[in-house]
Structure 1
Amino acid sequence: MKKSASILSTLAVITASALALVGCGASAPSGDGGAPAKGDKQLTDVTLMLNWYPYGEHAPFYYGVEKGIFKEHGINLTIKAGQGSTKTAQAVGQKQTDFGWADTPAVLANIDKGVAIKSVGVFLQTTPSAVQVFADSGIDKPEDLEGKTIAVSAGDAPTTTFPLYLEAVGLKESDVKQQNLDPAGKIAAVLSGQVDGLIGFAHDQGPTIAAKSGKKMTYLRYSDAGLNFYSNGLIAPDDTIKDKPELVEEMVAATSEAFAAAQKDPEAAVASMAGKDPQMPAKDVLLDQWNETIKLLSTKATEGKAPGTNATEDWQATLDVLSKAGLISGDGDVKTYFDASFAPGK
């Protein structure tokens, strides 16, 4: 009995020692100075609500998840469909989601109404707002819009700023007939020939209409007329910005890296979206949408910089346009709406 007890005791010591070694190996620090490597961070569950159902613009988020970019920044990202930028902004303010992806005019208008959120980085820095027509419509330049009927959606940014576009191209608002329809109705009206074109985001509706009709589209872009303002970007609750700045910084950095990676390989980025949402467009439409999005990711002030890098002058220009259009109060300054603390690559 004593011999058996001795053997058991020895085995117990050996087992304990082995376990201790394994434990030491599992917790051994990696990287310089004993700090954990970036990829070894404990993951934080994070939700992101999009501005709409997934379409090509959103490819970087899915690609970033697939490539492990968000995990490298300690984020276990869940992407949720949205139902419009206003609803996304309000959901972020109510902390129904950790972060949001929303159109800047809607974000700013909600901040004016007291929603406790801020932009932490706009990625679509050239407005996608455009009059969209079939290439064979005979509408080749802004002046050709005179006497035409264009579908609009009252209250959205492209429609509200349309008078400024017409002014910029030398037309009066009365020169163009506007037919108010919801987003789906606008597309249907163009396809059926009930209207001559529509106002919306050139990187969204245009590729969809082209795929459905088999016809090429022409885009009369607001930016080509010198009218530009910020579009979609990341937003966060004020409390999160205050209490969890490290998380916000990592989210912005990961998003910037994901956008850069998706630019380098558009086809792979779009392929990562496969099967993620039943309402997602076909792959060729997604690719067209993402390629159109790439054109919007910088301005002259941010060209060549990391995606999501914002310039103060672009923010001020955005405030000036949106204030003139009546979309925001005009009482706030850049810091009212944007927290510049989390610029990527700083």
Structure 2
Amino acid sequence: MKLRTFAIALVPALALTAAACGGGSEETTSASGKKLTKVSLTLNWYPYGEHAPFYYGVKQKIYEKHGIDLEIKAGQGSQKTVQATGAGQTDFGWADTPALLAAVDKGMPIKSIGVYLQTTPASVQAFETTGIKTPADLKGKKIAGTAGDALSRTFPVFLKKNGLAETDVRIQNTDPAGKMAAVMSGQADGLVGFANDQGPIMKDKSKKATTALRFSEHGLNFFSNGLMVGERKLKSDGDLVKRMVAATSESWTAAQKDEAGAVASMAGASDQLPPVPVVTEQFKATLGLLHTDATKGKAPGVNTEADWKTTIDVFHQAGVISKAQAPAEYWQADTAPQG
């Protein structure tokens, strides 16, 4: 659901083959002489503010403390990240939970090892001048979306929960990169996207105030982005998975306490990284998504079975998955953060 165009470095075919075949992990040595396991993490998209804790964890040597030499790679959307993770082409993935649900529904061997964005950033984003403040304001409006993706398939559920019919809103289908352009050019009144991503970018580029009509504030919440691993890696290198989980939860905890430092740690992450004020706003918005009522006060990435069931039910209702299975089919609870 992100809106930037980027180039991603190709992974050597030999490395992909070795990973897919469950080859042994490469070892490196830190500056202090500590033996580390080389680990790849593929993001859901090109780096933006949401990803600051990973870069902060590297800079603060939190991953190194857990014996990990972490390589952070750009992604090409959650679906592709899930596919690469399930196939063993990357050690770990950071992607949207609906994409994982859909992959498991099709038989892909992949598990969540902790959802971090437990309050969905899904929203209708628009310029303030459109007057979109409540669901009722959507009636008669043209909203940009991408046909078939998880948010567009849950949008009708959001409308129904708020007393609107699908026909009350005109949908302008476009590719993910075209949604923001449609809004900024006036071809659409708003877009369905993530409030911690596109909104701050639109405001920065246009110098206009934006609004976000959040699904979570109007009767529809579900899990969003989290850490995941292929079942082959989970079974063959359980110790590494536990170390990765511990390091990631610790990095997110530390980043919350040093927002400026977390944002600064992203310097040089990519040529297309948004300006510092945008990254800062994106990260602040992300921190407001880390918990549900059931997990407040707990470490980042700690989930409950009840929240998983809610998410599964939402996407079963939306038709993203054909069968609503038990949370254990999607989530490796004993490996995910516990405290």
When normalised by structure 1's length, the TM-score is 0.87
| Alignment correspondent of 2:179 | 186
Whether contact under 8 Å (1:59, 1:273) holds in the other structure is yes
Matched residue pairs, number? 308
| Alignment correspondent of 2:145 | 152
1:247-301 CA-to-partner distances (Å, cap 9, x unmatched) read 1111111111111111111111011111121121111111111111011100000
Counterpart of 2:209 in structure 1: which amino acid?
Answer: K
Whether contact under 8 Å (1:41, 1:72) holds in the other structure is no
1:216-243 CA-to-partner distances (Å, cap 9, x unmatched) read 1111111111211111001101011112
Counterpart of 1:129 in structure 2: which amino acid?
Answer: A
The Cα shift of 1:331 comes to 4.2
| Alignment correspondent of 1:312 | 305
User: For 2:109, which of 94, 103, 116 is the aligned residue?
Assistant: 116
CA distance in 2, matches of 1:112, 1:244: 24
Whether contact under 8 Å (1:253, 1:345) holds in the other structure is no
Structure 1 residues 41 and 311, CA gap change in structure 2 (3 angstroms): farther
User: For 2:325, which of 326, 332, 340 is the aligned residue?
Assistant: 332
CA distance in 2, matches of 1:220, 1:77: 36
| Alignment correspondent of 1:68 | 61
The Cα shift of 1:187 comes to 0.4
Q: Secondary structure at the match of 1:340?
A: coil
Q: Does 1:105 align with 2:104?
A: no
Q: Secondary structure at the match of 2:291?
A: coil
Whether contact under 8 Å (2:82, 2:93) holds in the other structure is yes
CA distance in 2, matches of 1:263, 1:154: 35
CA distance in 2, matches of 1:44, 1:261: 22
CA distance in 1, matches of 2:289, 2:147: 24
Q: Does 1:283 align with 2:292?
A: no
The Cα shift of 1:53 comes to 0.5
User: For 1:221, which of 214, 225, 234 is the aligned residue?
Assistant: 214
| Alignment correspondent of 1:22 | none
| Alignment correspondent of 1:301 | 294
Whether contact under 8 Å (2:88, 2:232) holds in the other structure is no
| Aligned pairs (5 A) from 1:165-314 | 165-314=158-307
Whether contact under 8 Å (1:319, 1:330) holds in the other structure is no
Whether contact under 8 Å (2:115, 2:223) holds in the other structure is yes
| Greater Cα shift, 155-164 or 58-67 | 155-164
CA distance in 1, matches of 2:57, 2:89: 22
Q: Secondary structure at the match of 1:251?
A: helix
Whether contact under 8 Å (1:129, 1:221) holds in the other structure is yes
| Alignment correspondent of 1:25 | none
Counterpart of 1:176 in structure 2: which amino acid?
Answer: V
Whether contact under 8 Å (1:104, 1:231) holds in the other structure is yes
CA distance in 2, matches of 1:156, 1:216: 27
Q: Does 1:94 align with 2:99?
A: no
The Cα shift of 1:126 comes to 0.6
Counterpart of 2:276 in structure 1: which amino acid?
Answer: K
Q: Secondary structure at the match of 2:309?
A: helix
Q: Which runs of 5+ in 2 are unaligned?
A: 1-31
Counterpart of 1:275 in structure 2: which amino acid?
Answer: G
The Cα shift of 1:343 comes to 3.1
The Cα shift of 1:42 comes to 2.9
The Cα shift of 1:344 comes to 2.2
Whether contact under 8 Å (1:41, 1:73) holds in the other structure is no
Counterpart of 1:248 in structure 2: which amino acid?
Answer: V
The Cα shift of 1:244 comes to 1.4
Extract structure 1 runs of 4+ deviating beyond 2 A.
Answer: 39-42, 343-346
Identity of aligned residues (%): 58
CA distance in 1, matches of 2:337, 2:255: 16
Whether contact under 8 Å (2:63, 2:247) holds in the other structure is yes
CA distance in 2, matches of 1:266, 1:52: 21
Greater fraction of residues in helix: 1
User: For 1:82, which of 66, 75, 92 is the aligned residue?
Assistant: 75
Q: Secondary structure at the match of 2:211?
A: strand
User: For 1:125, which of 93, 99, 118 is the aligned residue?
Assistant: 118
CA distance in 1, matches of 2:313, 2:117: 18
CA distance in 2, matches of 1:342, 1:269: 26
| Alignment correspondent of 1:7 | none
| Alignment correspondent of 2:314 | 321
Counterpart of 2:245 in structure 1: which amino acid?
Answer: V
CA distance in 1, matches of 2:303, 2:64: 24
Q: Secondary structure at the match of 1:161?
A: helix
Q: Does 1:58 align with 2:51?
A: yes
